[in-house]
Amino acid sequence: MTTITFITPDGARHDIDARDGQSVMQAALAADLDGIIGECGGSMMCATCHCYDDEGRTGPRSDGEDEMLESAACEVTPQSRLSCQIKVSAEMEGLVIRLPQSQL
C-alpha cells in the first residue's frame, strides 16, 4: 500500500492508503473522499477528477489530458492533472494532492 495525502480546499488533510497500480482517482473514490467525482469512471471523458500535484511527482500529463483539462471547473495550472490518469506506485509514498474548490 502507498499512502497519499489529499488536501481539500479548506486545508483538511486526508491520508488514504492506495493499492499500487490503481489510479489516484480510484483510491479517492474507494475512500469516499469528497472532492473527487470521477463522473466518467476514469475513461478521461470528463474533468471531474481534476487535482493539483504541486510537487510534480506524478510525471507529465498523458496524451489528451490537456484537452480534457480545458473543461475543468476550476483554474488549470501547470500542476493540474486528472487523477484518473495517475497510476499509484510505491515511489509515490507520501504524495500530496490538492483538490480544487469544485469539480462541477
pLDDT digits (tens, 9 = 90+) for 19-54: 999 999 999 999 999 999 999 999 999 999 999 999
Residue 94: pLDDT band with limits 50, 70, 90: very high
Residue 92: pLDDT band with limits 50, 70, 90: very high
CATH number at residue 40: 3.10.20.30
Strand order in the sheet with 95-98: 13-18, 2-7, 95-98, 50-52, 80-82
Q: Which three cell numbers stand for residue 27?
A: 483510491
Domains of the chain: total = 1
| Residue entry with cell 482517482 | 25
In a domain, 103, yes or no: no
- What pLDDT, on a 0 to 100 scale, did the predictor assign at position 81? 98
**C-alpha torsion 44→38→70→65, nearest 10:** -30
In a domain, 16, yes or no: yes
Residue 15: pLDDT band with limits 50, 70, 90: very high
pLDDT digits (tens, 9 = 90+) for 61-89: 999 999 999 999 999 999 999 999 999 99
pTM here?
0.95
Residue 104: pLDDT band with limits 50, 70, 90: confident
Domain residues for 67? Answer: 2-98
